[in-house]
């Protein structure tokens, strides 16, 4: 076992797959000698050489469009976006080109788009966005969002091996904020399977990304303070999502809180709430609840961002209201 941060987990997953398969190549802005804005790929140029690790101009559409071309010719390109936000200049490449090609033509497009996302560090409206609500509405994409170092590694391995375009969301706040002991070997973590992070029978929190950690903290507090047992589920893959685990958890707990960091309307939480409302209606002892950011751009000032972003305190309060409904 080795100790790994979330960022190191991403690095290790990428490195393992690049060692495994020479068709895995990596490009993006400043990712070569410089190692990327967050230094995820530091040392990769030296290890894998300039044919497999290279910088690009500031051209997200050309980056993603060319990745589609490479992927359809046998490579497995991994593209680093400097911030997820900048992927919005190339939505047509992601949605209309990458995600629809297999359905239209039967040709697989195995690309992985690494997208640093999320807030909590004063990044302001354009360096903090959570975009999973958008990506999950695009047919043909897979959307992955790890919360732990081991999952960051294992899900990245699976994303790269997957024959489909995968949006790999990496939470910047977690890069250096979470650590865990993980096995030496970079085994894949299968896509589409949620993870039960904490058991309990009084309520279940459905969440992902940085909010997994806030939720666990909140669950521990309500356990300590009020004796409630709250299950916490890390969705890990948002598309396709793990309906079975969600429904079993609802059956076991009968109360559901959904937590995410991004905007509310049509966010991924809406999908989860809709699923529960459709398929587990009879199992509920209280209305499903969503704890999300409001429909507001991510504000810069710490006072505002704190009010914007869900956290353990807010989750705890929502949990207590739900538990005592």
Ligand X SMILES: Cc1ncc(C[n+]2csc(CCOP(=O)(O)OP(=O)(O)O)c2C)c(N)n1
Cis peptide upstream of residue 240 (ω within 30 degrees of 0): yes
**Residue showing tokens 């004063």:** 122
Q: How do 203-207 and 2-5 pair as beta strands?
A: unpaired
Cα–Cα distance measured from residue 256 to residue 283, given in angstroms and rounded to the nearest whole number: 10
* 58 near ligand X (CB under 6 A): yes
* 177 near other proteins (CB under 8 A): no
Residue of 92, 127, 177, 282 marked catalytic: 127
Phi, then psi, of 122 in degrees rounded to 5: 75, 30
Q: Which helix (H) or strand (E) holds 257?
A: strand 256-259
Closer CB to other proteins, 68 or 147, in the complex: 68
* 57 near a copy of itself (CB under 8 A): no
Q: Which does 181 bind (CB under 5 to 8 A by kind): other proteins, ligand X, a copy of itself, none?
A: none
Among 2-10, 28-36, 183-191, 259-267, which window interacts with a copy of itself (CB under 8 A)? 259-267
In the region spanning residues 108 to 147, those forming contacts with a copy of itself, defined by CB under 8 A, are 125-126, 133-134, 136-140
* 139 near other proteins (CB under 8 A): yes
Residue 119 C-beta: closest distance to a copy of itself, Å:
13
Closer CB to ligand X, 29 or 207, in the complex: 29
* 127 belongs to the catalytic site: yes
Cα–Cα distance measured from residue 232 to residue 25, given in angstroms and rounded to the nearest whole number: 36
In the region spanning residues 71 to 110, those forming contacts with a copy of itself, defined by CB under 8 A, are 85-86, 88-89, 91-92, 95-96, 99-100, 103-104
Closer CB to other proteins, 91 or 252, in the complex: 91
Closer CB to a copy of itself, 8 or 85, in the complex: 85
Site size for ligand X, by CB under 6 A? 6
Closer CB to a copy of itself, 5 or 89, in the complex: 89
In the region spanning residues 8 to 37, those forming contacts with ligand X, defined by CB under 6 A, are 29
Cα–Cα distance measured from residue 100 to residue 123, given in angstroms and rounded to the nearest whole number: 32
* 292 near ligand X (CB under 6 A): no
Using CB atoms within 10 A of its CB, is residue 1 exposed (0-12), middle (13-18) or buried (19+)? exposed
SS3 73: coil
| Distance spanning both ends of the chain, measured CA to CA | 43
Enumerate binding residues for a copy of itself (CB under 8 A): 61, 85-86, 88-89, 91-92, 95-96, 99-100, 103-104, 125-126, 133-134, 136-140, 239, 263, 265-271, 273-274, 276-279, 281-282, 284, 286-290, 294-297
- For the annotated catalytic residues, the residue numbers are 127
């Amino acid at each position: 076992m080795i100790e790994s941060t979330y960022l190191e987990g991403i690095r290790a997953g990428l490195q393992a797959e690049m060692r495994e398969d020479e068709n895995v190549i990596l490009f993006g802005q400043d990712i070569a000698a410089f190692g990327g804005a967050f230094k995820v790929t530091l040392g990769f140029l030296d290890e894998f050489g300039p044919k497999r690790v290279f910088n690009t101009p500031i051209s997200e559409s050309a980056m993603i469009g060319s990745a589609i071309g490479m992927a359809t010719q046998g490579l497995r390109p991994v593209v680093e976006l400097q911030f997820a936000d900048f992927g919005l200049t190339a939505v047509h490449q992601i949605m209309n080109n990458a995600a629809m090609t297999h359905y239209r033509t039967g040709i697989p497009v195995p690309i992985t788009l690494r997208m640093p996302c999320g807030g909590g560090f004063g990044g302001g409206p354009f360096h903090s966005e959570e975009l999973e609500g958008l990506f999950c509405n695009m047919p043909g994409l897979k959307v992955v969002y790890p919360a732990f170092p081991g999952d960051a590694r294992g899900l990245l391995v699976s994303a790269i091996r997957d024959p489909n375009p995968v949006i790999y969301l990496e939470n910047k706040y977690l890069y250096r904020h979470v650590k865990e002991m993980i096995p030496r070997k970079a085994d894949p973590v299968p896509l589409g399977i949620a993870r039960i992070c904490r058991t309990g029978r009084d309520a279940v929190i459905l969440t992902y990304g940085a909010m997994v950690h806030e939720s666990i903290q909140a669950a521990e507090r309500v356990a300590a303070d009020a004796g409630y047992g709250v299950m916490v589920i890390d969705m890990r893959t948002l598309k396709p999502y793990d309906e079975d685990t969600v429904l079993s958890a609802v059956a076991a707990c009968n109360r559901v809180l959904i937590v995410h960091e991004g905007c509310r309307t049509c966010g991924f939480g809406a999908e989860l709430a809709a699923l529960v409302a459709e398929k587990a209606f009879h199992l509920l002892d209280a209305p499903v609840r969503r704890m999300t950011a409001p429909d507001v751009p991510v504000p810069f000032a710490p006072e505002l961002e704190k009010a914007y972003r869900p956290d353990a305190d807010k989750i705890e309060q929502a949990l207590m209201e739900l538990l005592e409904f």
